[in-house]
Amino acid sequence: MVGNVEPVSASVSKSQSVPVPAQDIAKTEKEAAFLARSQALDLAGAFTNDGYKIRDGFWSFILTHGNPHILIVQLFAKNEYWFSGAAPHSGKRIKLEFFDEKGIPVEIKTYGGDGTVAAGLVPQMSGAYFIRASITEGKPVPFCLVYSYK
């Protein structure tokens, strides 16, 4: 059984009538990506109170409806993992799914907030696992995922 966050319809912002310079768009996107990472780390920080250590790396990209991203990771049996993701202003549209190296869904616990999502699992076998991140509807959003373990 795969847990997921229930989708909530998000309001779509009105498009601007005045063209925005390219460098301003890039700066805005950069700021949005930074905010996503910052919020993901904030969420992961909550788990450190329970003895989890945050891994230094992160997975960051623009999440678009209909175009899920898949990442491969190596996880170890009996380690406890929490994957914390954030996409500011995305409501509850983010979905995380986990699969073993055969591509079979893995049972996870999930937590979802406004613009954040966390998935916890304790692998029974060491090996490669796949994480699929997707957005259920609406406009593209910058997304960042970090993980912690103990």
Partner 1 sequence: MVMMFRTNTRFLQGFFHLLALACGCIFIVSFEGQCQSITATEQAQAEHIESFSFPSAGEFFVALAKVGRPNWGTVARTPLPTGIAERPQIALSLGVLIADGYITVENQNSQEMKNIGRELLEMARKLNAGDNVIGRCSSLNDFAENNDWNSLHEELDATRNEIKISLVEQKDVDLVFLVSLGTWLRCIEASSALIAVNYDAQIASLFSQSQVAQKFLDRIYALPERLRNQGLIRVMQEQTFALEKIMKPLANNEISQEQVVKISELSAEAIAAIAGIKGQLPSASLPDQENSSSTNASTKP
Nearer to partner 1 by Cβ, of 27 and 53: the residue is: 53
Residue among 54, 76, 66, 84 at smallest CA distance from 148: 54
Smallest separation (angstroms) from partner 1 to the CB of 33: 15
Nearer to partner 1 by Cβ, of 89 and 132: the residue is: 132
Q: Is the dihedral of CA 35, 38, 42, 47 positive or negative?
A: positive
Rounded CA-CA distance 140/98 in Å is 22
Contacts with partner 1 by CB under 8 A lie at: 1-2, 53, 55-59, 69-79, 97, 99, 101, 103-105, 125-128, 130, 132, 147, 149-150
Smallest separation (angstroms) from partner 1 to the CB of 2: 6
Nearer to partner 1 by Cβ, of 69 and 139: the residue is: 69
Rounded CA-CA distance 90/98 in Å is 21
